[in-house]
Amino acid sequence: MGNENLYWKTFLLPYELAVGGFLIKLESLRKEFILKNAYNPIELISGRVKTVGSILEKAERLGIDFNNISNDIYDIAGIRITCKYIQDVYQVLELLKTRKDIDIFLVKDYIKNPKESGYRSLHIITKYKVETVEGQSPINIEFQIRTHAMHLWASIEHSLQYKYFHQIPNEIKERLFQASLITGKLDNEMSRIKNAMEEVIVEKVRNEEYELEDYDLLLNSIRR
């Protein structure tokens, strides 16, 4: 038992270092946007490392060999970024693409192509080299980017998956699916409202009702 505990502590340490590091990096980026009064697409940031039990359960469910867990399970380290608008989700994706410390090798767009359950989110799977006392340790990190509405639905669906041991009754599945359609409509409407407000500001600048130097300030006040 002692050797097993030591194995898992050693195995998970690079993931814990990576998550902690990225929480600091992304929070610093968010604060920089705010400080510069720039367009800030990042609303909330959180992260976690899967528990040993969750890792083993997923490996068994997906038929992943124990020795391939580090390669074939992409979300042992997970960073979640929550945004206000759908447009912001894709802007965060572009921000991640410019980073030199991660290598994006897979993008799963469940917003444009929702899962059968109704789940919507953008998943970015990356390789990241963690600096440890023994040198660099390459690991997978999954970034999940979603709106508040997507996150609300996903949180409830996730809790029900565990409550029903991944066997949610069909009636509940259907109600969850219908709820996902509602959250999708909400996201689309909120994006349209934001676009409409931006058009109003542009028009007022054209008509010289607002000073040009106030243009970015007014737009950012809507986007926050």
Which positions are annotated as active-site residues? 142
The strand ranges marked E within the chain are 44-49, 77-83, 102-109, 122-132, 135-147
| One-letter amino acid of 56 | L
For residue 223, give the nearest of 93, 94, 88, 89 by alpha carbon.
88
| One-letter amino acid of 200 | V
| Residue-wise DSSP of 117-174 | T----EEEEEEEEEEETTEEEEEEEEEEEEEHHHHHHHHHHHHHHHHTTT---HHHHH
How many other C-beta atoms lie within 10 A of the C-beta of residue 7? 11
Torsion sign (Cα): 58, 61, 64, 66:
positive
Q: Looking at the chain, how many residues does it have?
A: 224
